[in-house]
Structure 1
Amino acid sequence: MKLAILCRYFPKDAIGGGENYIYEIWKRAKNDYDTSLISGWKKDPNLLPEDTNKIDLRNKNPVYNYLKFFKQSGKYLKEIKPDLIQSTCYEFPSLGIPTVITVCHLGHLMGKVDTNLKRRLQRDITIKRFKKTNHLIAISKSTMNDLIKLGIPQSKISLAYTGINVENYKIKKTNNKKFTIICPSRISREKGQHIAIQAVKLLPKEVRENIKLQIVGFVNDETYLKELKNLSKDLDVEFLSNVPKIEDYIMNSDLLVFPTMMWEGFGIVAGEGLACEKPVISSDYPSIREVTGPYGLFVKPGDAKELSENILKVYKNEDLRERISKGGRKWIVDNYSWDRVYKEHKKVYDRII
């Protein structure tokens, strides 16, 4: 079977949960199918696999990029003539080819979007495309429920949790001079790094002086990064942008915070923290509760005071840190295997073809 995999971006040109997801599926699919990859790029096309069908998306106008991806991906699909398309995006033409779209998150389409013309148009186009697609794969029960709320028949949706490469996350006893808190995510306002900085500012002075905050991630918004640096003056905050292996920093931390402002589709960052036997404090969204099971600590999104209180609780309570750490890693090992995720995809492919 000829399989075409489509995505807006792909490692190592871009690094994030969605990019890692499609990479893991592509890596396994190559062993089973005649697989072609179609991907956009925005930094360096040479960072993509050599045989990728590449689309230049460096333009800062998202509408231009959407139309370019639509046109170029259609051209590639006509050349490849696949039996099946697997995609994590929907801006490609319907060519009568059986299609599976993996839906990573829908937060931008949920809630009150009717007053925002751009969001409403995006939602309407997305729903229309999803309804025409042969099958959708949701990466969490929360995302599946969101699809149903948008009017997608449940019979068209399968659940396949994203995986976590636990073997990449080693258990490491830290010996940091200061209690080190890591906030690892794409550096973009919706990920809430400013909430983490504000929370540290609210800690008692004697605790704050023994805290080091590391903000680690792919820079998506340079203006926001400058704001964060200004906000963090007089604090011990280290900014580590575009690092090759974010897991190295998670393993060397004492606590992971994930104050995202997004309605996350999965919240892999929280799972990565548990995989490293680190306590995790996250914004309270249903999908993140799915990831962490009984081992996460949660705060109201955007509430720096509540986050600060929970940081203080973890900082002071070694027994709490130990309980979360040991149980959390086992939870991830037992529930989030990439091989299991891929098997669920294969079941869908076999059903459609």
Structure 2
Amino acid sequence: MNARSLAQAHVDIAQALPDLAADGKPALRICLLGYRSHPFVGGQGIYLHYLSKALLAFGHKVDVISGPPYPELVEGVGLIKMPSLDLFAVEEPLKALKWSHLKSYTDTYEWWAKITGGFAEPYTFGRRVAKYLKQHGHQYDLVHDNQCLAWGLLDIQKRGLPVVATVHHPITRDLELKLAAEQHWGMRLLIKRWHSFLAMQEKVVRKLKHVITVSEQSRSDIAACFKRPVSAIDLIHNGIDTDVFKPDPNANKTPFSLITTASADQPLKGLRYLLEAMHLLRPHYPGIQLTVIGKLNAGGETEQRLKALQLEDAVHFVSGISTQALVARYNQSQVAVVPSLYEGFGLPAGEAMACGLPLVATNGGAIPEVVGDAALSVPAGDARAIAEAVSQLFDKPAWRQMLATKARTRIEETFCWARVAAELTHYYRTQMLTTEAARAHR
């Protein structure tokens, strides 16, 4: 055999051998789903970015199917765009329906839902994905859904492709808090109409063979709201990218500066209580400043509250920034605050802690599971308690440093994406693929 033939033989052998994952077993072909997945949209986009990155680093082949706005993915992760009408990016949704759309029930339904106050994207995304995977599903070993929870998942599962869904927390909690904060009956009807997709999600969660969540709090809430037994909900915590979110020893801290991540007019995030705490603190700390990673809605409740509390010059909203810019903002701040009334996991808390910030956090939802004893805990919805905790950290530099060190250590030791990838790989192999193989041989 000449040298050229020998080289070709080596190539043929290498191509014949299966790619191996970090656990020494054949790599999996994983399809991740997200109906809208840009990180600026919210925590689900962040989860999809880091999950796909971690699974790729573990050695798997990973594709993401997403509707717009599309995710930011690392090189090596495939993106399959699943276009929708994207009506939330259209100035006049009423005029967005074209004659060509009328040929598609999915497009027409999405348009009709939008103009009647509904939110159909999970449902219509599920229909489009089910149609796509009917043709291309053989390319994957499994499908992992990121809280779409649409009827289409049951179609995919019925055709024999293993499906698992991550439920971060039941959106039922968001609905309850929004209804509690709204007094006008007309607006309450609109809120209920918007959340009508929850009826679908509840039924789908009950019928899926594999469901995971990210905290014990979410596990119990899913059981209560979606009526799936706790024993049928598996727990795999989120991770924090500690290589990206980390302390910067060269950063200059701004005195009396706070930072939080919050959707301005979402009652769930509890921003109103942090603003009220700011109002209580300002007479004692005239230079106090708050950076809110989020968008301020013109004319919204938060803007009105800022004016009423005379805090317009002390609170700054920043949105659409890169991850690197976010890390820089964390490192320039003196104290982080998470005022949420409820969190299914508490990613902002974990990211701030990874950056070595002393943290004041409520006891809402799963936040205590994330922060442990490495933060000052206050009751959810208590502005005075937030103010008192922040004041203690402003006045005690040594305490700030102690909490900052504990925060970073806790995230490094307890939460990392490499651990998530390893746990999920084990789950895929033992819970999903083994179960499906056993069913196939019955």
Equivalent residue in structure 1 for 2:277, among 196, 199, 220: 199
For this pair of structures, how many residues does the alignment match?
347
For the 8 Å contact 1:107–1:265, the answer to whether it is kept is no
Q: TM (normalized to structure 2)?
A: 0.70
Equivalent residue in structure 2 for 1:74, among 114, 125, 130: 130
Report the more deviating stretch, 247-256 or 109-118.
109-118
Partner of 1:52, secondary structure, is: strand
Partner of 2:67, secondary structure, is: strand
Whether 1:210 aligns to 2:290 is: no
Name 2:234's counterpart in structure 1: 158
Name 1:181's counterpart in structure 2: 258
Q: TM (normalized to structure 1)?
A: 0.87
For the 8 Å contact 1:107–1:264, the answer to whether it is kept is no
Partner of 1:332, secondary structure, is: helix
Partner of 1:125, secondary structure, is: helix
Gaps of 5+ in 2: 1-27, 89-113, 180-187, 434-442
Identity of aligned residues (%): 23
Partner of 1:36, secondary structure, is: strand
Report the more deviating stretch, 119-128 or 20-29.
119-128
Partner of 2:388, secondary structure, is: helix
Deviations 1:205-236 (A, max 9, x none): 141x121111123x385554644654554542
* Offset at residue 90 of structure 1 (A): 0.9
2:49 and 2:71 mapped to 1: Cα distance? 16
Report the more deviating stretch, 321-330 or 221-230.
221-230
Whether 1:54 aligns to 2:82 is: yes
Gaps of 5+ in 1: none
Whether 1:311 aligns to 2:396 is: no
For the 8 Å contact 1:201–1:235, the answer to whether it is kept is no
2:173 and 2:71 mapped to 1: Cα distance? 33
Amino acid at match of 1:11: H
Amino acid at match of 2:329: Y
Name 1:3's counterpart in structure 2: 30
Whether 1:256 aligns to 2:336 is: yes
Q: Which has the higher strand share?
A: 1
Name 1:24's counterpart in structure 2: 50
2:394 and 2:220 mapped to 1: Cα distance? 36
* Offset at residue 204 of structure 1 (A): 5.1
1:155 and 1:301 mapped to 2: Cα distance? 28
1:337 and 1:167 mapped to 2: Cα distance? 10
RMSD between aligned residues? 2.9
Do the aligned partners of residues 316 and 105 (structure 1) sit closer, same or farther apart at CA in structure 2, a change above 3 Å counting? Answer: same
Name 1:105's counterpart in structure 2: 169
Partner of 1:341, secondary structure, is: helix
Report the more deviating stretch, 174-183 or 227-236.
227-236
Q: Which has the higher helix share?
A: 2
Do the aligned partners of residues 266 and 51 (structure 1) sit closer, same or farther apart at CA in structure 2, a change above 3 Å counting? Answer: closer
Name 2:322's counterpart in structure 1: 244
Amino acid at match of 1:283: T
Structure with higher Rg: it is: 2
Name 1:133's counterpart in structure 2: 208
For the 8 Å contact 2:62–2:78, the answer to whether it is kept is no
Do the aligned partners of residues 57 and 281 (structure 1) sit closer, same or farther apart at CA in structure 2, a change above 3 Å counting? Answer: farther
For the 8 Å contact 1:108–1:119, the answer to whether it is kept is no
Partner of 1:172, secondary structure, is: coil
